[in-house]
A and B are shown apart, each in its own frame.
Chain A
Amino acid sequence: MTTKQDTQADVLPYEEPSGIEQFQETLREYGVTRAVTYGLLGVFLVWTLFPVYWLVTATLKTRQTLLSFPPQWIPLDAQFGNFAQLFAQRPDFVQFIINSTVVTITTTILATTIGAMAAYAFVTFDYPYNLDFHLPFYILSTRFMPPIVTIIPLFVIFRGVGLVNSLQGLILVYTMFNIPFAVWMMKGFFEEVPDSLIESAMIDGHTHLGAFFKIVLPLVKPGLIASAIFTTIITWNELLFAVILALNANAMTVPVGLASFVTKFSVQWINMSVGATIALVPVLLFAFIARQQLVRGFSMGAVGK
């Protein structure tokens, strides 16, 4: 940066790049920077996706080939029979899937509706005693609480009212778990809806509630869908609550079932892989459908929220 010291104006109209900058420029010209960037990103991608690939291909191997040394990178002699084998050896797995499905769907509907209503109310109405702030804050702060803290007393409470090992109990707990999330997601969407739209609907003949269902909700559909998908994924995947509250086969969900494949003494490798793959397919499907929402949701609306 020698020219900076020059008191005479503009001996050189520009500065000579430093040695480092010249080196970087050379690298760029030779495409080295590009190569390295793509290379590193590629490595990260492979590192991220390979374990899933490994699991899915495991469903097509035999127990021997699965743990062969050296490992079989691409499954030869695919064993499609493994799927049938799982259901033959563990017929209760079907029940797990049914339980998970029922719980997930019900929870999603409940949490999204209740959460959306609450979010709308906070956005639209004035509450006394500064509840406007306190209630949403209280609701959102429950996210900070480690679930293990509430699960212990919940278990005792549920045991008292006979809700242990029941789908209803699970649904209740999962709904509670997901409401704060739904509220957080929907709040922003509701804030975008202009008051005059709702007023117009009331003048056109709706009650406020009617306007909410007929006019507002359709407008925030993307938010509802995103909220529903997140709830679905979270609920379907959940283990801690399920393993404590629902150890009975009537109410056992898929994650708990999968956990049972892995005991202190042995691991049923093939069954476990098949089961895990079955468990992840619906989630991957939903995620694919909602990939834009998910990326946006996970990025937490970093831009302009």
Chain B
Amino acid sequence: MVPTWRFVLLVALAAIPVLLVPGWDTAGLALAAAAFIALLDWLLTPRPRRVSAQRTPGRRVRLGEDTHATLTLHNEGRRTLRLRVRDAWTPSAGAADVRFRARLRAGESFERELTLTPTRRGVLPADRLTLRSLSPLGVLGRQTSIDVPARIRVMPPFLSRRHLPSKLARLRELDGRTAVMIRGLGTEFDSLREYVRGDDVRSIDWRATARARELMVRTWRPERDRRVVIVLDSSRLAARRCGTGTVFDAALEAGQLLAALAAGGGDRVDLLVADARVRARIGPITGRDPMGRLSNELTDVDPELLDADWDAITSAVMRAASPHSLVVLVTALDPTTVAEDILPALPVLRARHSVAIASVADPELESMAARVHTPALAYRAAAAERELLEVRSVIGSLREAGIHSVHEPPEELAPALADLYISLKATGRL
């Protein structure tokens, strides 16, 4: 039984006879009359249970885009229903305008499209649907809430997509260069072409020259069909807030850009998300549209408050990777974790693969280190500087161990990692 504003009005109207003839008897009679009218009205209210409901969620979207969900109500009863409907969704689905009125004759259907503007990534479920059937006088209503399962998929935003065209262009520029400029192991023979001035004379292919009676040079292209394994750390260190999002958001951006770039460059990409266990394993990703599948599978992976198990991650990588791969670990450069967990696990990987570590630098540390105007701030600055020095020494020791590392603020991590990949590719060190 749900009173409406008309119920309050009814009680107010019941005061009129009492005002005219003051007395306890009149008051009791007036209240009893009001209660009787309300009860009669309530008994005549059609039941909202005779409604079937269906929700049809819209297509999956990237975070930042709008989607929609269609609610269909069908009156299976024999009486006309005047409904007030609350089409509730989980708060971060960003449902606007969830309350509306509907009038359903017997056997009639009603459809309404709800616009959803999600505020976070993930699989966002619909909440319960609440139906309030109003009585003939509108004094009272019957209300019921039912589960109508539906969910929308909100994929990670991939904001670093804007870097992709320029990075792919740089990758293509590597094609057709002479071997001298990019001399190194593993570059593949591409084709023979005529010598033009400026080419290194050491790349002249004398046998072809003799056959063609013109000066011919060999050209090389970057090696193709290499394996890239990207490991995203989803442990507690990735749950830290950093800039506008979390560390894991920045890691997702970097991982997506690298995967798209490597797939565009003709390499095979595997992506692992792991903490104490492997949370997601995607790959191998090749071909034209690598992002659709990648983004879809990364939709509902969130960091958890667990420590990463680097031995398990290492063995998962060894299983995923072919003999010589580029293994990119996107993690946090926490000195203790690196010294105690990551570095002992790396020699196994180093023996068979190239390893790179990408990590998110917290811009707040820099700003903390720059403020020293009060004693409390000075101690904070000292602590921040200590952290920065430790990260620096970790990077130094990684470099000594022959591991490439990228340590950048959240917005710049993805392009920096892409640059590292391009430079490794250009020098044939994949």
Q: Decide whether A and B assemble into one complex.
A: no
